[in-house]
Structure 1
Amino acid sequence: MKKAIFVMGVSGCGKSTIGNLLAKELDIPFFDGDDYHPEANIKKMSSGQALNDNDRQGWLEALNLLAVKQIKESSCVIVCSALKQKYRTILSDTIEDKTEWIHLTGTFNQIFERVNSRADHFMPSALLKSQFDTLENPETAITIDISLTPEEIIKKIKHELMNTSEFGLFGLGVMGKSLCRNLANNGFKISMFNRHVDGIEVDVAKNFKAQYSELSQAQAFDDISEFVNSLQQPRRIMLMVNAGKTIDYVIEDLLPHLSENDIIIDGGNSNYKKTKERYDYLKAKGIRFIGTGVSGGEEGALKGPSIMPSGDKDAYDKVAPFLETISAKDKNGLPCCTYVGPEGSGQFIKMVHNGVEYVEMQLLAEVSTILEALGQNPDGISQTLESWKNSANSYLLEITTSIFKKKEGNDWLVNKILDKAGNKGTGNWTTIASAELGVPSTLISSALFSRYISFYKEERLQLSELIETENTSELNITTNAVLEAYQFARIINHYQGFKLISEASIKFEWNLNLSEIARIWTNGCIIRSTLMEELVSIFKETTNILTNTELIEQVKQLKPSAKKVVSQCLLNDLTTPALSEAIQFLNGITTKYASANVIQAQRDYFGAHTYLRLDDPSGKPHHTNWV
């Protein structure tokens, strides 16, 4: 990758000498920043006046433009004191991921003596001291002690530039491998690590590297110390290992090898509460932590996933060039990766993403059951789903269409798959979070429990013999009615999912941007869809999609079909829990006076829990002796 290499430090540290030598060694252009001062700055300095930040602004911007223009052709070396972080921010604007900082350091006495030993040169100690006082040490730089000889300095810089990686990936499962290839394909120098287990996991990283040409510049390790030391500081290490205790074990293994301000990114499906605990734990040790949801599966990780980082905002800024580059892009070319918010908010919305995903999958499974009951074979189901793409397209609809086409021999493969659905726990966590926050995410829990029911295969077989289902009539519905019921339920699903995110944002004071969350879910992730694209603009106006005029009209138009489909399925003993719950939920959320008054009376009867009265606006609790 072409880079702008800035050599920085206080006056007298030898920037120009080292910069020139380095450029010659690397055979790339050299530029001295002092040559780019405007005439006004030169006159001011000539009169003995020091430049202020306003004077430097245009000069720094000119050097940034020089760097931007130069690295389109080749790497370059630019010498500039760049003592303050805000100067370095201007210099690296838009090219942060293509910028390398070389910081030449020495003691005050060392540099003062060196400068004043030069012929016809004397620097007042006050001027040099002011530079030391101004200096803000960069967090991201190759730091070089000027006590070394110029030859040793160049050798050390070259070694650091050539042999250290920009980004580390820990864990080479399916997702980890795909992310490595994605990073490498985007020109990043990476280090890859996978544990060594005798006879089970041996040379995993090295063998993986040998498989793909794009990994030729990557470094492969099965030794943690060597892996960590291969990375530029502050180190950026992304963990792609199983959620739970494994994350904690890996963190403990890494800690002895890390330095202050190194960054750990958890890219697994971790529980958002654990993410906050790890953030606080590592902060106390000077290590930065980012909890990151990653969606898209193996293909998304390789070609561009949706990425949901949260936690340390300053740390995110250091890894943003990597994550945003490898992420999917929305229809406007913007990365489907954004800083979500503090603590474990990124892991929370990934959890909810998976909950919504459970429902979207369940709805398509229920739809296929209905279409089969209408007499369609898998090819017919595939054709019907294909015809829905114009009005209800989504990634899951597309893959389900493909699934029903796939044959193995003379039969469709889907007919040979055991009807027991697995899960990795995120649907469970979403349901628990909904209960803890008091949010009725009823479709997510319905989809989750449908998977649980499916797992009782043997009991289902037994009970199907004991309690026979009867199809007493034919389904009196059209495929268009099934489509409209499906569209109706999807709107309710997305309402519930984003409602859960909204309530969590309020409860935890995360200040989440629902429109931006919807935007990064428009590509790369499993629940991307045309509906999600519509929600991006809707959430700019409201946090409740059922208050949007257009969606209200859609719900009104679609509800009659949803009611008919669900009622027909009930009469014919077809299992459609998610479609049914969508109707029940809407009925409940739009009921002006619910049956909860009876429940509250019952609670007061047996437990003296009290109740409020409609005819008492004071809000005073009442209790009745019901006997």
Structure 2
Amino acid sequence: MKKVIFIIGVAGCGKSTIGKLLAEELHIPFFDGDDFHSENNLKKMSGGQALNDEDRQGWLETLNDLAKKQLIKNSCVIACSALKQKYRITLSDTLENQTKWVHLSGSFEQILERMNSRTDHFMPSELLKSQFDILEKPREAIQIDSSLSPENSIKIIKKELMNTSDFGLFGLGVMGKSLCRNLANNGFKISMYNRHVEGVEENVAKNFKDEYPELSNAAAFDDISAFVKSLQQPRKIMLMVNAGKTIDFVLEDLLPHLSKNDIIIDGGNSNYVNTKERFDYLKTKGIHFIGTGVSGGEEGALRGPSIMPGGDLAAYKSVQLFLETIAAKDQNNLPCCTYVGPEGSGHFIKMVHNGIEYAEMQLLAEVCTILESTAKNPDEIANILETWKDNANSYLLEITIDILRKKEGDDWLVKKILDKAANKGTGNWTTIASAELGVPSTLIASALFARYTSFNKGERLANNEIYRNTKKAKVDIAIDEVREAYQFARIINHYQGFKLIYEASNAYSWNLNLSEIARIWTSGCIIKSSLMKDLVDILKDTKNILNNPRLVESINQYKPSVKKVVSQCVLNDLTVPCLSESIQFFNGITTAYSSANIIQAQRDYFGAHTYQRLDDVKVKSHHTNWK
């Protein structure tokens, strides 16, 4: 990775000498910051006056621009006093991850002696004390004693620069390995860690490094202490381990080796509530915690996933370059990675992503069931779905087509797969979060419960024997009607998903940007689709996609088809829970006067819970003795 190396310290410490030698050693350009002072600054210093912050601001911005231009082509070395932390913030603005600091330090007496022996410097030695007075020693710099010879100084600096890694990845499962290769392919020097378990997991990191040429410059570890020490400070470590208690165990193992301002990124599917708790806990330790959703599976992690980080904004800026570089790119070549919001918002967004994914998968499964009932074989169903790409394309549609066409011998592989759908918890969490927030994410819940139902294989077989209907289904549905029903249900699913995000944003004061969330879901992730691309612009104008004129027109067009498809499925004993729920929910959300008046009366009858009246403009509570 290209870097700008700032050699900093008070006047007379040897910045220019060390900077030139280091640049020569590394074969990169050198620039002396003093050469970029304005005429006014030079006159002021030559007259024995110290520069104030206003004098320095333009100079620092000039050096920042210089660094940006140089980094387009190559690394560079810049010598600059940069005595205060705020000066260093200006110098590294938008370049935080590409900046290295080398601080040349020495005593006042030692530096003063050097200053007095120089005749070619515009700054008089009288100003040296003012520099020591304002010096704020950098915590995150390579520290070099000015009394060392230039040769020894260069050796130490080179060793520190070359031996430390930019980024660490903890956990080398499928996703962890793919992310490592992605980072390495993008020019980052990384350290990789995987635990050592005798006879079970031995030399995992080393063997992985040896397997792929792009990892030749990566450092491999199975010792936590050595792994942490190999990283540049503040350290940036991404955890790719199983969600739950494993994360807490890993954090406790890491904490003794970490330093203040180090950054931990949890890239697993953690519950957002736990992420909030970990964020608060690590904050008390001076450690930053970023809960990050990562979607795209093994291939996405390698070629570019969708990344959803949440936590402290300042900490995100320190890892922004790494995450945005390895992320997928949208249609405008922007990274499918954005700062989502504070606390556990990143993992909340990933959780909802997975909930939407549950329903999208279930809808495609239901479509296949319907088409199969019309005597279509998997190849024929795949061919039908292929024609849907023009106006209903998605990653899940594409992989379903591939699945349907895969054969094992003379038969289709999909017909040999046991019909028990598993889950890893995110659909469950989404449904719980919906209930807690009072948001009717009914398609996600239906998809989740459909998986639970499928898992009761033994009970299903027994009930089939009892209630078996030998009548063969005769579904009177056109292919276009199935497609329109599917599109109708997908709009409802996405409405419910973004509604859940919107309500969570309000409840937790996260200030989430729905359009930007849709944008980072347009590439690299499991739920990317042509519909998602449309939602990027739609969500700029409304939080409720059912209000969008274009989608209103689509809903009105598709509604007759979904009514017919669901009716035919019910009449022919075909199970389509998500398609059914889409029209039921739509009818409910568009009903002006619902049956809830009966519910309120019942609640008041048995529990005196009261009710409100339509004819009471004061909106007060009423109670009736119903007997």
Using the alignment, how far apart are the partners of 1:527 and 1:569 within structure 2?
26
Q: Report the alpha carbon displacement of residue 622 of structure 1 after superposing the two structures with TM.
A: 1.2
1:404 is matched with: 404
Matches within 5 A, 1:520-535: 520-535=520-535
Q: Deviations over 1:234-288 (max 9, x none)?
A: 0000000000000000000001111111111000001111111111111111111
The residue type paired with residue 43 of structure 1 is K
Determine the structure 2 residue equivalent to 1:288.
Answer: 288
The aligned runs of 1:334-353 (5 Å cut-off) are: 334-353=334-353
Structure 1 window deviating more from structure 2 (139-148 vs 368-377): it is 139-148
Counterparts of 1:470 and 1:568, CA distance in 2? 17
CA deviation map 1:553-573 (0-9, x unaligned):
111111110000000000000
> By how many angstroms is 1:150 displaced?
3.1
Say if 1:431 and 1:118 are closer, same or farther in 2 by CA, change over 3 A: same
Q: What does residue range 114-513 of structure 1 map to in structure 2 within 5 Å?
A: 114-116=114-116, 127-138=127-138, 140-469=140-469, 471=471, 474-513=474-513
Size of the alignment, in residue pairs? 627
The Cα offsets for residues 154-213 of structure 1, whole Å up to 9 and x where unpaired, read as: 222111111100000000000000000000000000000000000000000000000100
Between the aligned partners of 1:380 and 1:607, the Cα distance in structure 2 is: 57
Q: Partners in 2 of 1:512 and 1:167 — Cα distance?
A: 28
* Matched letter for residue 354 of structure 1: N
Using the TM superposition, give the Cα deviation of residue 588 of structure 1 relative to its aligned residue in structure 2, in angstroms.
0.7
8 Å CA contact 2:50–2:130 kept in 1: the answer is no
- Superimposed CA distance per residue, residues 311-332 of structure 1 (whole angstroms, 9 cap, x where no aligned partner): 1111111000000000011111
Per the normalisation by structure 2, the TM-score is 0.96
8 Å CA contact 2:48–2:123 kept in 1: the answer is no
Change beyond 3 A, Cα 1:94–1:123: closer
Q: C-alpha separation between the residues in 2 aligned to 1:587 and 1:312?
A: 41
8 Å contact from structure 1 (residues 471, 573) kept in 2: no
Residue identity matched to 2:5? I
Indicate the SS of the match to 2:310: strand
User: What is the rounded CA distance, in whole Å, between the counterparts of 1:332 and 1:342 in structure 2?
Assistant: 26
Report if aligned partners of 1:179, 1:301 keep a CA contact under 8 Å in 2.
Answer: yes
Given that 1:472 and 1:571 are in contact with CA atoms closer than 8 Å, whether structure 2 keeps it comes out as no
Separation in structure 1 between the aligned mates of residue 511 and residue 68 of structure 2, nearest angstrom: 35
Report the CA distance between 1:70 and its aligned residue: 3.4
Question: Could you state the TM-score of these two structures normalised by the residue count of structure 1?
Answer: 0.96
Hey, what does 1:105 align to over in structure 2?
A: 105
Please say which of residues 579-588 and 154-163 is displaced more in the overlay. Answer: 154-163
Deviation string, structure 1 residues 359-398 (Cα, Å, up to 9, x no partner) = 0000000000011111211001111111000001111111
One-letter amino acid of the counterpart of residue 4, structure 2: A
Specify the SS of the correspondent of 2:541: coil
Is the contact between residue 313 and residue 339 of structure 2 (CA under 8 Å) also seen in structure 1? yes
| Alignment-derived partner of residue 541 in structure 2 | 541
Checking the alignment, whether the CA contact within 8 Å between 2:473 and 2:573 is kept in structure 1 is no
Q: Measure the CA separation in 2 of the matches of 1:376 and 1:314.
A: 55
Q: Which stretches of structure 1, 4 residues or more, deviate above 6 A after TM superposition?
A: 119-126
Runs of 5+ consecutive residues of structure 1 not aligned to the other structure: none
Tell me by how many angstroms 1:106 deviates.
3.8
The CA deviation string for residues 388-418 of structure 1, in whole angstroms up to 9 with x for no partner, is: 0000111111111111111110001111111
Measured against aligned partners, the alpha-carbon deviations of 1:531-576 in whole angstroms (never above 9, x if no partner) come to 1111111111111111111111111111110000000000000000
Q: Distance in 2 between matches of 1:545 and 1:135?
A: 55
- Residue aligning to 1:552: 552
- Kindly state the Cα deviation for residue 52 of structure 1 after the two structures are TM-superposed: 4.4
Question: What one-letter code is carried by the residue in structure 1 that aligns with 2:234?
Answer: P
Judging changes above 3 Å, is the alpha-carbon distance between structure 1 residues 119 and 42 closer, same or farther for their aligned structure 2 residues? closer
Q: 1:246 to 1:126 in 2, by over 3 A?
A: farther
SS at match of 2:405: coil
Note the alpha carbon deviations across 1:18-69, whole angstroms, 9 max, x for none.
2122223323332211122343433343344444455444433443343344
Counterpart for residue 33 of structure 2:
33
Cα 1:202–1:117 change in 2 (3 A) is: same
Deviates more, 1:88-97 or 1:411-420: 88-97
Bigger shift: residues 38-47 or 403-412 = 38-47
Query: C-alpha deviations, 1:456-509, integer Å up to 9, x for none?
Result: 111111111111135466211101000000000000000000000000000000
Worse-superposed segment, 13-22 or 475-484: 13-22
Contact between 1:22 and 1:154, CA under 8 Å: does it hold in 2? yes
The answer on whether the counterparts of 2:45 and 2:122 sit within 8 Å (CA) in structure 1 is: no
> Contact (CA 8 Å) 1:439, 1:500: kept in 2 or not?
yes
Code of the residue aligned with 1:511 in structure 2: it is N
Give the letter for the 1:529 counterpart: S
For residues 137 and 361 of structure 1, do their structure 2 counterparts lie closer, same or farther at Cα, with a shift above 3 Å needed? Answer: farther
Q: Give the letter aligned to residue 491 of structure 1.
A: I
- Work out the CA distance in 2 between the residues paired with 1:426 and 1:138: 43
More moved, 192-201 vs 303-312:
303-312
The 1:72–1:341 alpha-carbon spacing in structure 2 relative to 1, beyond 3 Å, is closer
Which stretch shifts more, 562-571 or 121-130? 121-130
Alpha carbons of 1:305 and 1:451: their partners in 2 closer, same or farther (altered >3 Å)? same
Contact in 2 for aligned 1:288/1:315 (Cα 8 Å): yes
- Give the share of equivalent positions with the same residue, in percent: 74
Cα distance 1:589–1:618, how it changes in 2: closer, same or farther (>3 A)?
same
* 611-620 vs 522-531, which moves further: 611-620
Distance in 1 of aligned mates of 2:327 and 2:122: 53
Kept in 2, the 8 Å contact 1:139–1:261? The answer is: no
Give the aligned residue type for 2:275.
T
CA distance in 1, matches of 2:393, 2:600: 43
After superposition, the Cα gap between the structure-2 partners of 1:510 and 1:108, relative to the gap in structure 1 and judged at 3 Å, is: farther
Is it true that 1:590 corresponds to 2:590 in the alignment?
yes
8 A contact 1:116–1:123 mirrored in 2: no
